[in-house]
Amino acid sequence: MKKILVTGAAGILGSHMCEALHEAGFEVHALIRETSSRRWIDHPWLKIHVARLHDQETLVKLFKGLDVVVHNAGANHGSPPELCRKVNLEGTKVVAQAALKAKVKRFIFVSSRSAAGPNWSKFIRTEDDSDNPHEPYGQSKKKAEEFLFTIRDKMEIVSLRYVLMYGPRDTHLLPVFKMLTSPIHPIPGYRPIYTPLLYLVDAAKAVAAVASARKTSFRSGSFYYVSDGVPYSMDTMYDLMLVGMGRKSLRIRLPLWLVWLVAWFSSRVIKSQHEFTTDAITDMRAYSRLVSPARFMKDFDWRPGVFPHVAYAETVRWYREHGWL
């Protein structure tokens, strides 16, 4: 049985990854902080380790005997620039170098679609298009990918550029679901804005596909876009949420500059963290953040397993069962 470790395992995506990897037949190890909650990772089959991300000496000891390390821990979108650099870039360097010293065979880096920047000239972006991230989070992920590329001949490296995710346990899009419970809700922009999405359960199974893949399936050092491939407009996303909740709501369009001000007030004054940051609103001026998952699907024989309308309904059901909605 292959042994695999997931950093940031106590988080939303990390906990789903642990479950998907266990189902795929791996012996799963979880790396968490001392202060991390264990509510999503309380499984008898999961081996939990506590360590600091920058403690390379301890990490080397933990990594010995592992076949794969999934580096999922990181600062969230909207975090201060210095935190993005410290965690997403410098932290990744430490974890990757520890994996090298421990002779880990494969290193899977959880990157982000934000590493590419907005789609200013293309409706759908592919891995062949040039990157131009303009905000700290995306820049830190891009630089981490660049570092990993330099060690691609010493360890099998795959970077996964995940898109916006939703599903059980997710808190980032929860405020949007709550907003849609009102009889009237706002939507940014006067014309359609397109965004890629991915159900968390499918996102976790994507990692299992990479961990299980043969070395000949991919080129070490490569990055891939991972989405469900559906060209959602924000209207479509809101419609799916409303259908999942069994509700109707009147939609009012707001200019992007006003939405930007609301996002600024929310993050700077109220100190609220969510996906609709000022940087995210600025990116909406490009009107498309769509990416193609075709290369990932081909190289790793992966397909999303849950239809969007079912995924949104399952998300709503989970929120309601846990009293979140």
Average pLDDT score over the chain: 94
| Chain-centre distance for alpha carbon 79 | 15
Bridge-based pairing state of the strands 68-71 and 3-7: parallel
What pTM, to 2 d.p., does this model score? 0.94
User: Would you place residue 212 in the very low, low, confident or very high pLDDT band (cuts 50, 70, 90)?
Assistant: very high
N-term to C-term CA, the chain: 40
Q: What percent of the chain is modeled with pLDDT above 70?
A: 97
In this prediction, residue 221 carries a pLDDT of: 97
Closest residue by Cα to residue 169 from 35, 275, 314: 314
Cα angle, residue 18 at apex, residues 201 and 143 outer, rounded to 5° = 85
Which CATH code fits 3-165+198-228+290-305? 3.40.50.720
The C-alpha atoms of residue 28 and residue 49 are separated, in whole angstroms, by 11
- Is the predicted pLDDT of residue 281 greater than 90, yes or no? no
Angle, nearest 10°, between helix axes 92-101 and 136-150? 20
In this prediction, residue 164 carries a pLDDT of: 95
Q: Over the stretch 63-103, which tens digit does the pLDDT of each residue have?
A: 999 999 999 999 998 889 999 999 999 999 999 999 999 99
Q: Write phi, then psi, for 209 (nearest 5 degrees).
A: -65, -40
Mean pLDDT of 232-259: 93
User: Would you place residue 267 in the very low, low, confident or very high pLDDT band (cuts 50, 70, 90)?
Assistant: low
For residue 290, the SS3 value is strand
Q: Over the stretch 16-65, which tens digit does the pLDDT of each residue have?
A: 999 999 999 999 999 999 999 999 999 999 999 999 999 999 999 999 99
Q: Are 74 and 142 in contact (CB under 8 A)?
A: no
User: Would you place residue 257 in the very low, low, confident or very high pLDDT band (cuts 50, 70, 90)?
Assistant: confident
For residue 244, the SS3 value is helix
